[in-house]
Amino acid sequence: MKTPFRAPLWVVLFVLPLLAGMGSIFGEEPADKIPAPERKFEAVFLDQTDVATACTSVSIQGNTFIEGKRGEGTYTVPFDKVREIEFLMKGSELRGIVRLKNGDPVELVLNGDHRAYGKTAYGTFQIRLGDLKRMSFPGGETAG
């Protein structure tokens, strides 16, 4: 009769902490924890169901710029140059029409899994870029 396999204690002690932290590996982030950007911007998010959410301390992936591809290049456009971003699906690609404060539009291919973050009057906010219709910056950068 065979005895069942038993993992040595050191294997269990090594693997358990890795499994406990796998939530963040798979994109799950604590809802009450958001990145704290160095610069503070206000924005209004409009999601695909037409729910608008006004936020302060806005960032995308913890940064105060939108990043995307245009041709073979990768561009970053700082929030202080952006009036609004319109999000559109074209096939399987998420496109962002970035409307600059000077009136010029710039179209970028975005990562729809990137998250935008902010603080509301009643708590924290996070949303995938692929779930947005529009992001506008009516207040721009704020003090603090």
In tens, the pLDDT along 57-66 reads 999 999 999 9
Q: Dig out the tokens for 100 from the structure.
A: 């600059």
Q: Dig out the tokens for 64 from the structure.
A: 């105060």
Inside any domain, residue 84: yes
Q: How many CA atoms lie within 13 A of 14 on its CB side?
A: 5
Domain of 104, in residue numbers: 40-142
Inside any domain, residue 14: no
Q: Are 85 and 134 in contact (CB under 8 A)?
A: yes
Residue 135's closest CA among 90, 94, 82?
Answer: 82
Q: Are 55 and 45 in contact (CB under 8 A)?
A: yes
Inside any domain, residue 24: no
Inside any domain, residue 130: yes
pLDDT band at 5 (very low <50, low <70, confident <90, very high): low
* 79 vs 134: CA distance, rounded Å: 14
Inside any domain, residue 64: yes
Domain count, the chain: 1
Coil, helix or strand for 37?
A: coil
Inside any domain, residue 28: no
Inside any domain, residue 86: yes
* 32 vs 123: CA distance, rounded Å: 8
Inside any domain, residue 12: no
The letter for the amino acid at 59 is: S
What global pTM score does this model have? 0.76
pLDDT: which is higher, 90 or 12? 90
Phi-psi region of 27 (alpha: psi -120 to 50; beta: other; left: phi over 0): left
* Tens-place pLDDT, residues 65-117: 999 999 999 999 999 999 999 999 988 999 999 999 999 999 999 999 999 99
Phi, psi of 17 (to 5 degrees): -65, -35
